Amino acid sequence: MPDQKSMRPTAIAAAASIVIVGGGLSGTLCALHILAARPDLQVRIVERNDRLGPGVAYGACSDGHLLNVPVSRLDIRTSISFEAWLTHKTSLHPDLAEALGESGGQLGDAFVPRRLFGAYLEEQIEHLIASNKLIWKRGEAIAFLDPPKRGVLLADGREIAAGAVILALGNLPPKSPVRDDSGLEDLGGFIPDPWATGALAGIQASEPILFVGTGLTMVDVALALNAQGHSGDMTATSRRGLLPTRHAFGGQWPPFLPSLLPMSPATLLRAVRRETEQALRDGVPWQRVIDAIRPFVARIWRSWSRPERRSFLRHLRPRWDVVRHRMAPRIADVIDALVTEGRLNVVSGRLARYRQAGREIAIDIVGKDGEQQTVHAHHVINCTGPRSDFGSVGTPLIVDARRRKLIHPDALGLGIETENCAVVSAGGVPSNWLFAVGSLTRPAWWEITAAPEITAQVLDLAASLTATPLETSSLADRFQDLGAGI
């Protein structure tokens, strides 16, 4: 893969109009930073939902859903930081009391309700709309305009022409947890996307539930059901049966990877184990070791060959996910209580067979040892996490992009190929008008979901689109300056 130093496209610098497809975190950050650099540009954002800013991540949540990182790690480099915004919102203090109690009164270390960050993003974007700097096009982009035009076609037939298009699609709904045409999706109690509007509304309090997936999506859905008074049995299953770990306060651990780079996945695993064992002997939470790795993830990923990346995804990704994507302590306490009380049972294994059994679905789960158990549930909820296989996803805009050969889905099914946000075509050529940010660009960076990382990426793109001077070091190197635990 080419080095991304100074690969910012220049042909677009003089464009007077930009359309952003997607109004969640990534799209919001694009609008904020592009217009901060060039208020005179014509920027339009396409979003079909009724809110701009929160997206699914910070909008489809209840008061019981907390941020997975403390307040201080959500700096998006705008005129007012999230921490400062919270400080000025005195009306929110009752909602912060429990979080501040947990963090010893330190707002920067607090795990606050997720909806507050959504409200913060929404307020920032509303200022742009109110000042007529940003135009919100309410609708769904389903295709690109035919050349020589550039822009997108909306589902209602409107054409939005622009000099540059930025794909900020965010996370897609989950992929089916089983092979295509297996029949699970056709069963009455199967819920394919827990974040779809009204997805959980039909679940009765006493009905048994099976979650397919044991990560943070499962945690969120279990919390939502528990908050609405669900009392039935809940079972969560995944191949390894690993639950996310919890955040811990205190301690520091110095960077230890630079002297070892480049390194293979196996070498990385040995180094992490060694440092973790030493940290525990020193009385430092193991979480600080993982935090010390985070700023170097992009460099490590980009140094690996495709076989090494494939090996990591196959063997180490599940364990990385549970130590990297952690739960706020208060959330971990609730999940621990559900497990201790027997209301949540975690099972490792694979789904082997499933069938309708009256009002229930009977699911056979086979463990590594070959032992089988059958779970009976009124609802099976797909909690496997966002889909990323853009070579087969049926989203209209992506289908059209594949047809036109505008995109090149990566071989590992993580997203689409990009070079410093420029979308790479099926022929391997970086575009000078089509760009992508956020989770779409995971093949280049592996992890590009945290707010500081996406902010760094968006700042880089904004500099390109507005001809604003920016340091010439690679984006992978600048990730290192974002602080531990990003």
- Contact by Cβ (8 Å): 424, 408: yes
Tell whether 139 and 240 lie within a shared domain. no
> Is 131 found in the same domain as 36?
yes
Please state the rounded mean pLDDT for residues 121-133: 94
pLDDT of residue 395: 93
- Given 324, 350, 375, which residue is the final one in a domain? 324
* Model pLDDT, residue 451: 86
Binning pLDDT at 50, 70 and 90, where does residue 287 land?
Answer: very high
Same domain assignment for residues 333 and 217: yes
Is 251 part of any domain? no
Tokens of 26: 């990534």
pLDDT in tens, 193-233: 999 888 998 899 999 999 999 999 999 999 999 999 999 99
268 is a domain residue: yes
- The verdict on residue 253 lying in a domain is no
Q: Which domain holds residue 58?
A: 17-171+387-482
Of residues 11 and 127, more confidently modeled: 127
Q: Closest Cα partner for 380 from 144, 189, 132? A: 189
Q: Is 200 exposed, middle or buried (0-12, 13-18, 19+ CB in 10 A)?
A: middle
Same structural domain, 335 and 411: no
**In a shared domain, residues 118 and 129:** yes
pLDDT band with cut points at 50, 70 and 90 for residue 90: low
Q: Are residues 315 and 377 both part of a single domain? A: no
Averaged pLDDT of the chain:
89
pLDDT digits over 71-82, tens only? Answer: 988 989 898 999
Q: Is the pLDDT of residue 2 over 80?
A: no
Positive or negative: CA dihedral 387, 390, 392, 394: positive
Examine residue 320 and state whether it is found in any structural domain, yes or no: yes
pLDDT digits (tens, 9 = 90+) for 167-200: 999 988 898 888 766 788 888 899 999 998 889 9
Shared domain for 210 and 298, answered yes or no, is no
Of the three residues 300, 324, 348, the one that is the final residue of a domain is 324
Q: Are residues 89 and 190 in the same domain?
A: no
Q: How many CB atoms lie within 10 A of CB 2?
A: 9
pLDDT at 17 exceeding the cut of 90: yes
Q: Strand pairing partners for 135?
A: 44
Residue 45's pLDDT is: 98
Token output for 289:
């070791």
Among 247, 259, 254, 245, residue whose Cα is nearest residue 279: 254
- 3-state DSSP of the chain: CCCCCCCCCCCCCCCCEEEEECCCHHHHHHHHHHHHHCCCCEEEEEECCCCCCCHHHHHCCCCCCECCCCHHHCCCCCCCCHHHHHHHCHHHHHHHHHHHHHCCCCHHHCCCEHHHHHHHHHHHHHHHHHCCCEEEEECCEEEECCCCCCEEEECCCCEEECCEEEECCCCEEECCCCCCCCCHHHCCCEECCCCCCCCCCCCCCCCCEEEECCCHHHHHHHHHHHHCCCCCCEEEEECCCCCCCECCCCCCCCCCCHHHCCCCHHHHHHHHHHHHHHHHHCCCCCHHHHHHHHHHHHHHHHHCCHHHHHHHHHHHHHHHHHHHCCECHHHHHHHHHHHHCCCEEEEECEEEEEEEECCEEEEEEECCCCCEEEEEECEEEECCCEECCCCCCCCHHHHHHHHCCCCCECCCCCCECEECCEEECCCCCEEEEEEECHHHHHHHHCCCCCHHHHHHHHHHHHHHHHCCCCCCCCHHHHHHHHCCCC
Check pLDDT > 50 for residue 149.
yes
Percent of the chain exceeding pLDDT 70 equals: 92
For residue 50, the tally of other CB atoms under 10 A from its CB is 7
pLDDT at 5 over 60: no
250: in domain: no
Total number of domains constituting the chain: 3
Is 477 or 345 the better-scoring residue by pLDDT? 345
Q: How confident is the model at residue 6 (pLDDT cuts 50, 70, 90)?
A: very low
Q: Please check whether residues 40 and 155 belong to one and the same domain.
A: yes
pLDDT of 288 strictly over 70 = yes
Per-residue pLDDT band at 398 (split at 50, 70, 90): very high
pLDDT band at residue 483 under the 50/70/90 scheme:
very low
> For the residues 145-150, what does the mean pLDDT come to?
96
Q: Is the pLDDT of residue 431 over 50?
A: yes
In this prediction, residues 327-352 reach a mean pLDDT of 95
Query: Could you tell me if 461 and 468 are in contact, meaning their C-beta atoms sit under 8 angstroms apart?
Result: no
Query: Among the three residues 305, 324, 343, which one is the final residue of a domain in this structure?
Result: 324
Q: Are residues 162 and 310 in the same domain?
A: no
Which residue did the predictor score with more confidence, 449 or 349? 349
* Residue with more model confidence, 467 or 320: 320
Check residues 328 and 5 and name the one with the higher pLDDT.
Answer: 328
Contacts of 9 (CB under 8 A, 6+ apart): 420, 422, 430, 431, 432, 464
Residues 406 and 478 in one domain: yes
Here the CATH number for the domain that contains residue 420 is 3.50.50.60
Q: What is the rounded distance in angstroms from the CA atom of residue 21 to the CA atom of residue 201?
A: 29
Q: Is 60 exceeded by the pLDDT of residue 478?
A: no
| pLDDT value of position 102 | 87
Would you say residue 12 lies in a domain? no
Lowest mean pLDDT among 289-293, 379-383, 468-472: 468-472
Q: Is residue 187 part of a domain?
A: yes
Asked whether residue 97 is assigned to any structural domain, the reply reads yes
Taking residues 129-151, report their average pLDDT.
96
Same domain, 306 and 271: yes
Q: What's the rounded Cα separation, in Å, for the pair 417 and 425?
A: 8
Predicted confidence band of residue 477 (pLDDT cuts 50, 70, 90) = low
User: In terms of pLDDT, which residue wins out, 479 or 337?
Assistant: 337
Tokens 């993982």 belong to residue? 290
